Amino acid sequence: MKTVFIDRDGTMGGSYYVEYPDEYYPYEGTREAFKILNDNGFRPIVFTNQSCIARGKDKGYDFATEFKEIGAKDWFICPHDDIDNCNCRKPKTGLLEQAKAKYGLNMKECYVIGDRWSDMASGGRMGCKLILVLTGRGEESLGKDRDKWSEFSPAFVAKDLKEAAEWLCREEQNER
């Protein structure tokens, strides 16, 4: 089963700014994107930095319910603050390494969909195929932040998560 790692804030929903959980809203087409991926044999997994947990701003928010309801098969959350110097906060690869160990993944067969340079760098360092979405900070990632992940190239740049999911399904069909 092909695995697709999907960032939350700026990719699945929210605004330009990092959202506190109770202020988050999914973008139009996000639910449909997860349905497309699930219906076409992909395993969509959310991977997200949520420093609001370390800062006590999450107010006990139930991320698991959110991710289950939208169609994610699993999720990996970094609960640490920027200053914690953990191994799991993107652009580090700890979240992807956890998923690799849990599912026995060949990361070269996996995809990462995200809007930030940190999503692209994390996925690129693990050998994943990269899809940048232009929602959230996607434009910024292609512009002023491009040097932060310049050693990697996206396989596709999509206007949003739904277009990324549709492209991914077409791409996989072409490879068969």
Q: Give the active site residues.
A: 7, 9
Q: What is the Cα–Cα distance from 89 to 66, expressed in whole angstroms?
A: 20
Q: What is the Cα–Cα distance from 83 to 1, expressed in whole angstroms?
A: 36
Q: What is the Cα–Cα distance from 22 to 90, expressed in whole angstroms?
A: 22
What is the number of other CB atoms lying within 10 angstroms of the CB of residue 28? 11
Alpha carbon 29 to its chain centroid, in Å, reads 15
3 touches 103 (CB < 8 A): yes
Q: What is the Cα–Cα distance from 134 to 116, expressed in whole angstroms?
A: 9
